[in-house]
Amino acid sequence: MARRVRIRRVIDGDSLEVKYAGLFSFLRRPFPVRLYGIDAPELAQPRGQESRQRLAALTRRGGFSMEAMATDRYGRTVGLLYRRRRRGQSVNVEMVRSGMAWWYRRYGGRDLGFPEAEAEAKRRRRGVWRDGNRARRPWDYRADLRRSRQRRRRMKRILIWTVVVAVVVVAIAMGLAVIISLFW
């Protein structure tokens, strides 16, 4: 069931902060929403800021309704966002069609128009597809960041243990030097 919402702010190309609209809406708190079926470039990636601006432009004016699909592991509502006046394609599909987001196949959405929208964006070289297939998918980018962080943590641990071992060796050597000097 779709409910009327007000867009409070755009976080990035696939995340928003919304608030339910209607009677007593002033009592309701804003909450984070992850757009269902899409994954937009991270803000630090090429076209990340552009993707955010595109979502902001799509959600700037007009009334919206949202169909909540699930809750993700971060507690965000995962939903389909629609313009209330123009029924039809969701804002989610419009983001993919404009080339500012990938269809997130892993989570479905085949029957919502995502495959056709992505094929059109690729064919017309829009957004992330301007550079052909060289654009880095956000899920690969995040996986590389995680691996990089793990590598840095591992190197930090190695460095700490190297220093500890060096200090122990020096302490033992100094202790031996003191003992030898006493008996020499």
Q: What is the CATH number of the domain that holds 56?
A: 2.40.50.90
Residue 100 lies in a domain: yes
Residue 162 lies in a domain: no
- Give me the active site residues, please: 34, 42, 76
The domain total for the chain is 1
Domain carrying residue 69: 2-136
pLDDT at 26: 74
**Top-confidence residue, 182 or 82:** 82
Residue 160 lies in a domain: no
Residue 184 lies in a domain: no
Residue 13 lies in a domain: yes
pLDDT tens track for 124-166: 999 999 987 778 899 999 999 999 989 999 999 999 999 989 9
pLDDT tens track for 63-97: 899 999 999 999 999 999 998 866 677 999 999 99
Q: How far apart are CA 9 and CA 135, in angstroms?
A: 26
Q: How far apart are CA 100 and CA 118, in angstroms?
A: 10
Quick count: other Cβ atoms within 10 Å of Cβ 181?
8
Q: Could you report how far apart the first and last alpha carbons of the chain are, in Å?
A: 90
Q: How many CA atoms lie within 13 A of 120 on its CB side?
A: 12
